[in-house]
Copies of this chain bind each other. A is one copy, B any other.
Amino acid sequence: MKRNIYISNMDDSKAMQIYMEKLIPNVKASMQEISTYDALGMITWEPVYANESSPCYNASAMDGIAVVSKNTKGATDTSPKVLEEGEDFEYVNTGNSIKEPYDSVIMIEDVVNESKGSVTIIAPSHPWQHVRPIGEDIVKGEMIVPSRHKIRPVDIGAMLSGAVGTVKSYKRPSIGIIPTGSELIEDFSKLEEGKIIESNSSIFKGRAEELGAAARRYPPCSDEYEALRHKIEQGVRENDMLIINAGSSAGTKDYTAAIIDELGEVVVHGVALKPGKPTILGIIGGKPVIGLPGYPVSAFIAFERFVSPIIHWMTGSNETEYEFIDANVSKRIPSSLKHKEIVRVNLGYVGERFIATPLTRGAGVTMSLVKADGMLEIPRNSEGVEAGEKVSIRLLKPICEIKNTLVSIGSHDVIMDEISDIMSMSSGHVGSMGGIMAMKRGECHIAPIHLLDEESGEYNVSYVKRFFPDGGKVLIRGVKRLQGFMVKKGNPKGVKSFKDLSRDDIVFVNRQRGAGTRVLLDYNLNKEGISAEDISGYTREMTTHMAVAIAVKSGSADAGIGICSAAHALGLEFIPIGYEHYDFLAEQEAVNDSRVREFIRILKSQEFEDRLQSLGGYKIEDSGSIIRVGEQIGE
């Protein structure tokens, strides 16, 4: 079987340049003439000029009376003038035509002594007072909007006012999307081992529509040469551009490049972009045909890099500029010299500066796109970015939204998700010790921690004292939460104690170093004199409660330690160990920050208590109260 393992590693900019040079002579944008009423969001093909002036006559600008200005001369408080209707004046409403001999309007509010057929005025009216002259708004022949302009509601208003009934606009290009892969399903009820719900095509469709294209998703095509070839021919025939998703790599069933080569031309196969390397830029019958990688993040990044600019060009859009901000990265981001890398980041606004924290770099993690506030580009031939370095981040959200967001870095708990449903909060999960370090570096507003002092058996306070000997910090009392052993439903292996973890027939799954739950385990192992080496799986580390729960659920481990709510969420059996304090470390001044105040308000709210109730395994005790560290708890 032929295998396409020889793909190039071309610079992404060079790839795009070569591709566009081949496309431009072939691909034409197309024009349509549409009703102005339907033009919202369309992009003008040519400048739009007014067909008529607006107003197209001299119009009263007020409700009042039309008068002949020279006849009003001399009217004052003390020598008012009486005007006769039909002779000296006529009633006019705003917008009425001012016809000869009238040349001026007096506001109704300035008219006194109205009686049938006559009025009294106490001030003269200047020529053209309160009259909108012809063309005041728009002059016939004036350019209302230029070409390549995205039509907004006010533009439609102005065009209608200028008697422009139809607009020439770029026609929405039609983008066909063919998902490929025999493992892809669309019917959720068929989800089983080896099957994946097809989702990339919906991301592409949504993006294409946001960019002003019309998108058409085809059903997933199986990995069969003839079927795919047939589908690609159809897709090219029916659309202005075709995207084939996956099949662009070097697997045994990756036919895309071969078929494009057969039907047209593969211009580029493989770019020095991570994620996004196995992209194919092809042309069939003069139309762009692009093979995108299968992993959702790779697919998205390659779409943005190669497909978006072509859609922009086909739609006539000018909006190819992105907003950038400067931010300091919170940790080192190594990168390979071999490719340009696009890193998804969370952005936080802490202490008057933006902090960029890289999200997981796995190409399969769609959630890193969902959670990203920005994108960092690390150029080829760079070894990466050092912690603290200032970098330029492409924004994915408005700055004001980022500024309003409370930044939490530290231990993970399901309640953080619930709070982020009530207020704007971003939540990084690096364990309790990671949270303390982030607070030390000024990268977060709050750090959730649950750290058991192995000597005193007390939670959190001693750690804060130790790591912040100069004070200035407070603990915001969070919740008491139940930790315990998570095991399969029915507890088939009868796990009841820490001792059981060292049994030969038990495979354990652990949390990472620095996690409060790991500290809890080590404290208890130490207390009971159990050696870590006796526990099978002690070295297998997960970074969240849910990840531990899923390892147990899927059978790759028999037991793990975690919180009750995580066990509940996955329907696991839960054997309680005990309650612990899950609190929030913060700067003393931060309690005056509006975001932190809102957070405290929520901790104290009934809504929060209700949510805890339904999660299970939590206790509320003085939640939201401030503990000044160095003094008595509860003071």
Contacts and interface: CB of A to CB of B under 8 A. Distances in A.
A137 B368 CA distance: 8
Interface string A431-462: 00000000000000000000000000000000
Contacts of A165: 188
A13 to B, nearest CB: 19
A321 B400 contact: yes
A588 interface: no
Given A546-B141, A550-B139, A157 B200 contact: yes
B136 A364 contact: yes
B196 A95 contact: yes
Nearest to A207: B153
Determine which residue in A58, A63, A154, A251 has the highest number of CB atoms from chain B within 10 A of its CB, and name it.
A154
A85 to B, nearest CB: 13
A53 B367 contact: no
Most B-side CB within 10 Å, residue of A295, A366, A399: A366
Interface in A178-226: 181, 183, 188, 191-200, 202-207, 209-210
A250 B202 contact: no
- Of the four ranges (under 10, 10 to 19, 20 to 34, 35 or more), the interface on chain A belongs to 35 or more
A163 B323 contact: no
Given A135-B547, A199-B156, A550-B53, A97 B194 contact: yes
Contacts of A249: 63, 94
Contact of A369 (B36, B157, B209): B157
A369 B550 CA distance: 55
Contact of A321 (B141, B322, B398): B398
A420 B318 CA distance: 13
A188 B200 contact: no
B63 A421 contact: no
User: Which DSSP category, helix, strand, loop or mixed, fits chain A's interface?
Assistant: loop
Interface string A11-53: 0000000000000000000000000110010000001000111
Given A133-B550, A133-B554, A153-B207, 10 more contacts: A3-B108, A55-B196, A56-B193, A56-B195, A58-B554, A96-B194, A138-B366, A139-B547, A153-B210, A157-B202
Given A108-B3, A300-B154, A401-B321, A160 B197 contact: yes
A200 B154 CA distance: 9
26 contacts: A36-B202, A40-B210, A55-B364, A56-B192, A56-B195, A93-B251, A94-B249, A95-B196, A97-B193, A132-B364, A135-B554, A136-B362, A136-B365, A137-B296, A137-B366, A142-B417, A143-B418, A143-B421, A145-B370, A153-B210, A154-B203, A156-B199, A157-B199, A157-B203, A157-B296, A158-B369
A135 B546 contact: yes
